Amino acid sequence: MANEINKDAEVTISISKNGSYRVNGSITLLDAEGNDIGSEKETVFLCRCGASKKKPFCDASHKNADWDASLFGQS
């Protein structure tokens, strides 16, 4: 793998109510081919509704999607 994973980095993942996953901290985010697609950012928002056109990133499509996290046992 081209990028080395820092196992000592502090990362926090928060779930927004009926929204995205907010990832804070120094992360390595790789696509399926191993390309770095988000490591330069200290905070990223990841889609969990499936409606984003910028997956894996959230583009706020959940606001207009027929998606309710509580239906999946999530908040």
Domain range enclosing 7: 1-58
The answer as to whether 7 is a domain residue is yes
What is the DSSP-derived secondary structure letter of residue 62? G
For residue 3, pLDDT over 60 is answered with no
pLDDT given at position 67: 82
The answer as to whether 71 is a domain residue is no
- pLDDT of 11-59, one tens digit each? 999 988 888 999 999 888 999 999 999 778 889 999 999 999 999 999 9
pLDDT given at position 1: 40
Q: What is the mean pLDDT of residues 1-7?
A: 55
The answer as to whether 74 is a domain residue is no
Q: What type of residue sits at position 74?
A: Q
Three-class SS of residue 24? strand
pLDDT given at position 70: 77
> CA 65, CA 15: separation in Å to the nearest integer?
18
What is the DSSP-derived secondary structure letter of residue 60? S
Domain total of the chain: 1
The answer as to whether 63 is a domain residue is no
Beta strands in 1-75 (DSSP E): 11-15, 21-25, 43-46
End-to-end CA distance of the chain: 35
The answer as to whether 27 is a domain residue is yes
